[in-house]
């Protein structure tokens, strides 16, 4: 991938900052999401909670669905491909998707290698649980990172853990001396150049969003206060009783994430949130896919 293209792709992620990216499974849901203030939508056949419930192999969405969603909205449209499935990614690029999520939510197609994302013009976002995973995905060409969290659970604990870990590792790396950086690059299994960037700039070289288990305005604001630059909301919206109202509330909570009075008002009478599954009740751990 030429350098200019990578800059443009990192740039699109910057435009999404302070926003909410919502999972949608139909053109009508996409319109509701756009109307509620989503800064992008993720086109999916099934939201993570249903993927979890259905079991079996989950794959890239049908291009027909993706096209319908692209035609329904004017905001960027993202779609997921399986980890390592570079042909699904080629298909999504052919569909002119705005962002590909090489995602652990789908069944991995390759248990060793991720996609060489530098070969694509279209941008990629990837999940990460720690700084090592984040920098490895960036080295492979990802132009945006999100926490993995544990998708489809409505439980924010893993996203919190991943965001805290990444940021605490960034703080640690920032405080190292140069000779210690060589060793740290080896320990984390990451490129020295990318680690040096983190050391110097005290942040990732790309935008970092929170994802996985975010279900309420307070969850979203929590992730923002922990340092996320925006949030993905998957099952949390369309698995709740009043998707439009909840989506609007989450959008405003992300903009004003430190204003507790406003968040209180936004949380008022939202109807039932998605039911949720606790960490120790989960059978399928998606975050362990692709490290």
Q: Would you say 56 is a known binding-site residue? A: no
* Min dist. Cβ of residue 1 to other proteins (A): 12
Name the residue nearer to other proteins (CB basis): 152 or 230. 230
Q: Is 15 in the site for other proteins (CB under 8 A)?
A: yes
Q: Is 200 in the site for other proteins (CB under 8 A)?
A: no
Inter-CA distances, 291 with 9, 57, 108, 114, 132, Å: 23, 19, 11, 9, 9
Show contacts with other proteins in window 63-82 (CB under 8 A).
Answer: 70, 74-77
Q: Is 12 in the site for other proteins (CB under 8 A)?
A: yes
Q: Are 231 and 261 in contact (CB under 8 A)?
A: no
* Min dist. Cβ of residue 139 to other proteins (A): 21
* 245 counts as catalytic: no
Task: Figure out which of the listed residues 45, 68, 130, 259 binds other proteins, where binding follows CB under 8 A.
Answer: 259
Name the residue nearer to other proteins (CB basis): 145 or 188. 145
Q: What are phi and psi of 156, to 5 degrees?
A: -85, -5
For residue 265, what are its two tokens? 């008002």
* Min dist. Cβ of residue 9 to other proteins (A): 7
Which stretch, 94-102, 105-113, 209-217, 281-289, contacts other proteins (CB under 8 A)? Answer: 94-102
Which is the catalytic residue, given 31, 80, 186, 200? 80
Q: Would you say 62 is a known binding-site residue? A: no
Total number of residues that touch other proteins (CB under 8 A): 38
* Min dist. Cβ of residue 173 to other proteins (A): 21
Task: Figure out which of the listed residues 18, 205, 227, 276 binds other proteins, where binding follows CB under 8 A.
Answer: 18
Q: Would you say 191 is a known binding-site residue? A: no
Q: What distance in Å separates the CA atoms of residue 98 and residue 1, rounded to the nearest whole number?
A: 16
Name the residue nearer to other proteins (CB basis): 14 or 171. 14
* Min dist. Cβ of residue 7 to other proteins (A): 7
CB atoms within 10 A of CB 201: 11
* Min dist. Cβ of residue 126 to other proteins (A): 17
Q: Are 139 and 194 in contact (CB under 8 A)?
A: yes
What binding mask, one character per residue, do residues 217-256 give for other proteins by CB under 8 A, x or -? Answer: -------------------------------x--xx-xxx
Show contacts with other proteins in window 118-157 (CB under 8 A).
Answer: 121-123
In the complex, the residues that contact other proteins under the rule CB under 8 A are 4, 7-9, 11-12, 14-19, 34, 37-40, 70, 74-77, 93, 96-99, 121-123, 248, 251-252, 254-256, 259, 262
Active site residues: 80
């Amino acid at each position: 991938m030429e350098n200019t293209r990578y800059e443009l792709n990192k740039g699109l992620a910057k435009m999404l900052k302070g926003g909410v990216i919502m999972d949608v499974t139909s053109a009508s849901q996409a319109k509701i999401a756009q109307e509620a203030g989503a800064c992008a939508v993720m086109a999916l056949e099934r939201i993570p909670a249903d993927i979890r419930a259905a079991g079996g192999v989950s794959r890239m969405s049908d291009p027909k669905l993706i096209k319908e969603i692209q035609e329904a909205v004017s905001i960027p449209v993202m779609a997921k491909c399986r980890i390592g499935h570079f042909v699904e990614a080629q298909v999504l690029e052919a569909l002119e998707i705005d962002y590909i999520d090489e995602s652990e939510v789908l069944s991995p197609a390759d248990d060793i290698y991720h996609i060489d994302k530098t070969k694509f013009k279209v941008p990629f976002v990837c999940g990460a649980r720690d700084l090592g995973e984040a920098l490895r995905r960036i080295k492979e060409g990802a132009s945006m990172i999100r926490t993995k969290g544990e998708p489809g659970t409505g439980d924010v604990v893993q996203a919190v853990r991943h965001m805290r870990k990444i940021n605490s590792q960034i703080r640690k790396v920032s405080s190292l001396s140069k000779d210690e950086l060589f060793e740290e690059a080896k320990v984390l299994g990451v490129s020295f150049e990318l680690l040096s960037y983190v050391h110097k700039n005290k942040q990732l070289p790309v935008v970092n969003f929170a994802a996985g288990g975010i279900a309420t305005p307070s969850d979203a604001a929590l992730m923002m206060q922990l340092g996320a630059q925006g949030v993905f909301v998957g099952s949390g919206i369309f698995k709740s009783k009043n998707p439009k109202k909840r989506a609007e509330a989450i959008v405003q909570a992300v903009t004003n994430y430190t204003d507790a009075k406003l968040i209180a008002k936004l949380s008022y009478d939202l109807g039932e949130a998605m039911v949720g599954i606790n960490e120790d009740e989960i059978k399928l751990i998606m975050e362990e896919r692709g490290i």
